[in-house]
Amino acid sequence: MSCESISVFFPAYNDGKTIGGLVEKSLSLLPRLTGDYEVIVINDGSSDETGAVLEQLRSAHPAHVKIVTHEKNRGYGGALRSGFATASKDLVFYTDGDAQYDPLELEELHRRMSPSVGFVNGFKKSRNDPWHRIAIGWLYNRFARFIFGIQLKDIDCDFRLIRRSLLEELSLRSTSGTICVELVKKLEMCPYLVEEVGVSHYPRLHGKSQFFRLQSLLGTFVQLVRLFITLVVVPQVTGRDVRTA
């Protein structure tokens, strides 16, 4: 059992049918990894039964479950930023509330975490989505890795274990899905090793992705351009460290 404490958090938007099982799975795993842990759910303006499910979980596990509620939807980036700000333990793990990833596979990421490693990133061994989402995701991942010079195989695999001390050095600004690019790029600039672990990816059985909508894609593109200027253009011109920019 590790002496390092762990925060697990889930951003949730209308994930009432899946979030309960994810939290319970996490609570079954974490005592095997550490004696000091917490599970956090960011309810990002959900309009379904998510809020009621989360209140039941908090009542059942008051010592280990925290709920943060956004009255209005702040977007994926806003939800992640709330999760990072709320997490209080040495290591921070997050994955999505739609159950396309299995939180039990955190155990493999945890095995790869050592004093010289800053974060462990999952990559999808096989993507279980409709063909158009697979195609768009492949293009997005290749494009973002190329223009930002990111080494990771899978930028948009939201299954990550990160040292909180590194997160405290970053100033994340994105409110959309571009936060994954911003997060990974800034983490790769830190003086720690990066590990990658293949993880399972499951079909989405409930709800709809907010990313694959025209409005979301356009907003993501605009934020991606701004992020490119901040993280790539500005450092080349000024030589400035942009991790805290």
pLDDT tens-digit profile of 5-64?
999 999 999 999 999 999 999 999 999 999 999 999 999 999 999 999 999 999 999 999
Which has the closest alpha carbon to 78: 67, 69, 91? 69
- For 51-104, how does the pLDDT look when each residue is reduced to its tens digit (9 = 90+)? 999 999 999 999 999 999 999 999 899 999 999 999 999 999 999 999 999 999
On average, the pLDDT of the chain sits at: 89
Confidence of residue 232 (pLDDT cuts 50, 70, 90): confident
State the pLDDT at residue 136: 82
- Tally of domains within the chain: 1
Q: Is residue 244 part of a domain?
A: no
CATH number at residue 77: 3.90.550.10
Q: Is residue 1 part of a domain?
A: no
The domain in which residue 179 lies consists of 6-238
Confidence of residue 237 (pLDDT cuts 50, 70, 90): low
Q: Please report, rounded to a whole number, the percentage of residues in the chain having pLDDT higher than 70.
A: 89
Q: Give the ranges where the chain is alpha helix by DSSP (H).
A: 19-33, 50-60, 75-86, 106-112, 131-148, 164-167, 179-188, 214-228, 234-238
pTM equals 0.89
